[in-house]
Amino acid sequence: MTNEPRHPRPLRSLGHRCARVAAAALLLALAGCGRPADGADEKSSLTGTVYIGGKNDQPGFNLHSGHTDRGFEPDLAAYLGKRIGFAPKWHDVVSAKREQELVDEASALVIATYSITPQRDEQVDFVGPYFVTRQGFLVREDYEGIRTEKDVADKVICTVEGSTSALAALPGGATPHTESDYSTCVRKLQQGDIDAVFTDEALLYGFVEQQKNSRTPVKVVPDVSFGNINRYGIALPEDRRGDCDKLREALRDYISEDWASDVKAQLPALVAAYPGDWENRFRPDPQDVDTYSSCRP
């Protein structure tokens, strides 16, 4: 919009004034049809205390214990908050309710091992990825019933409602079993009620670390996977271009600066499983953030 000079201007003809009014109305109508350019005239939601929907029972990524949230995702949120200028405050959200959490604006952000997909991107916006992972199977450490893809066919497989793993095509004959969270799946696995837990490999290694000293330790089956590669994104309500751009720029720096040290600290079992290769497998290229984010440059 062109700025008017501050000194008075001569009165124009009525026809000219009407034309200007009509043009201004048209511009306003067009502006209402899309996102504000570069966040103009948009109030940021990333100030003060920012409520973040997370999954607080996922060791390595986010585990709530003793009034504290610990894991890779709280580390990520702390970095973003320091960089942008907000204080993260977490509350729990289940996988199946993540889109609705943002549509209802109950949270300003969702950071919850939330994979970027075209279907989800129709309802919410994403900034990411901040983690890349294929999907895999978690079994009891003493179990040898799954060694290849074909072994999955006659097994009972637990996953979570609303996850990308729940949509993956498993071999015919496999019996899917869904729960609201992965902790329940892991508990049923250790009790012998199911044969395997199926979800993102990176997430499974958090449970490997958590359960390594339990009576029933668990392991990830090597080289057996179904479904797509998943790219975790920070989700926010649609049409928050200014906030989206801030997050995108901060996330690119995070991947280059603190990502590796936070993974080493929070997901040691993952690092141990792929010595010398874990960054190639799980770390996104900072340029990917521009490719997959809803607010592309």
> 232-283 pLDDT, tens per residue?
999 999 999 999 999 999 999 999 999 999 999 999 999 999 999 999 999 9
Q: What pLDDT, on the 0 to 100 scale, is given for residue 33?
A: 37
Lowest mean pLDDT among 30-34, 125-129, 140-144, 151-155: 30-34
How far, in Å, are 44, 82, 178, 229, 289 from residue 173 at the CA level? 50, 49, 16, 23, 38
Q: What pLDDT, on the 0 to 100 scale, is given for residue 28?
A: 36
SS3 218: strand
Q: What pLDDT, on the 0 to 100 scale, is given for residue 79?
A: 98
Give the residue carrying structure tokens 């690119």: 252
- Quote the CA–CA distance of 284 and 272 in Å, as a whole number: 19
Give me the mean pLDDT over the 53-78 stretch.
Answer: 93
Q: What pLDDT, on the 0 to 100 scale, is given for residue 19?
A: 40
Q: What pLDDT, on the 0 to 100 scale, is given for residue 247?
A: 98
Q: What pLDDT, on the 0 to 100 scale, is given for residue 24?
A: 39
Q: Does pLDDT of 7 surpass 80?
A: no
Give me the mean pLDDT over the 82-90 stretch.
Answer: 97
Give me the mean pLDDT over the 188-215 stretch.
Answer: 96
Contact 204, 183 (CB under 8 A): no
Domain 48-132+230-292 has CATH 3.60.21.10: no
pLDDT band at 21 (very low <50, low <70, confident <90, very high): very low
pLDDT band at 41 (very low <50, low <70, confident <90, very high): very low
Q: What is the mean pLDDT of the chain?
A: 87
Taking only the tens place, the pLDDT of each residue in 154-166 is: 999 999 988 888 8
Share of the chain above pLDDT 90, in %: 75
- Quote the CA–CA distance of 55 and 180 in Å, as a whole number: 11
Give me the mean pLDDT over the 5-20 stretch.
Answer: 36
Q: What pLDDT, on the 0 to 100 scale, is given for residue 42?
A: 64
Query: In terms of pLDDT, which residue wins out, 68 or 74?
Result: 74
pLDDT band at 26 (very low <50, low <70, confident <90, very high): very low
Which residues 6+ apart lie within 8 Å of 146 measured at CB? 137, 139, 152, 155, 195, 196, 221, 224
Domains 48-132+230-292 and 135-220 fall in the same CATH topology: yes
- Quote the CA–CA distance of 86 and 228 in Å, as a whole number: 34
- Quote the CA–CA distance of 2 and 20 in Å, as a whole number: 12
- Quote the CA–CA distance of 217 and 265 in Å, as a whole number: 21
Taking only the tens place, the pLDDT of each residue in 136-148 is: 999 999 999 999 9
pLDDT band at 23 (very low <50, low <70, confident <90, very high): very low
Contact 55, 94 (CB under 8 A): yes
Query: In terms of pLDDT, which residue wins out, 126 or 37?
Result: 126
pLDDT band at 228 (very low <50, low <70, confident <90, very high): confident
CA dihedral 152, 153, 159, 162 (to 10 degrees): 130
Domain spanning 135-220 has what CATH number? 3.40.190.10
Q: What is the residue extent of each domain of the chain?
A: 48-132+230-292, 135-220
Q: Does pLDDT of 6 surpass 50?
A: no
